[in-house]
Amino acid sequence: MNDIPLSYFLIVSALLFSIGLSIMLLKRNMIFVLMGIELMLNAANLNLIAFSRQDDQIQGLVFSVFVLVIGVCEMSVALAIILQIYRHFKNIDLGAEKSRF
């Protein structure tokens, strides 16, 4: 049943998490920062699904659905905030002088 070893899932998940973290730390645009956060959430979901597949239990799948729902809610609120910031400052870069509060 388990054709792919657990270590492969963990390696891919670690790569996704590190790519998301590097995007979040290096990019100055808010949209890219949100994309990095989403990659990190997907890496956590991959871990949850891999461990639930290993134990043949459904708790990991249920937790991953909750993480996806929370991520979607977070992204919708964050995009609404970004749109309001853009309307006010005409810029969404994080370090720009024009976007100081």
CA 60 vs. chain centroid, Å, equals 17
- What is the DSSP annotation of 28-70? -BHHHHHHHHHHHHHHHHHHHHHHHHHHT-SHHHHHHHHHHHH
Residues 34-57: tens digit of each pLDDT? 899 999 999 999 998 888 888 777
Start-to-end C-alpha separation, the chain? 55
Taking only Cα atoms into account, the Rg of the chain, rounded to an integer number of angstroms, comes to 17
Domain locations in the chain? 6-89
Q: Does domain 6-89 have CATH number 3.40.50.10540?
A: no
Residues 66-94: tens digit of each pLDDT? 888 988 998 899 889 888 888 888 877 77
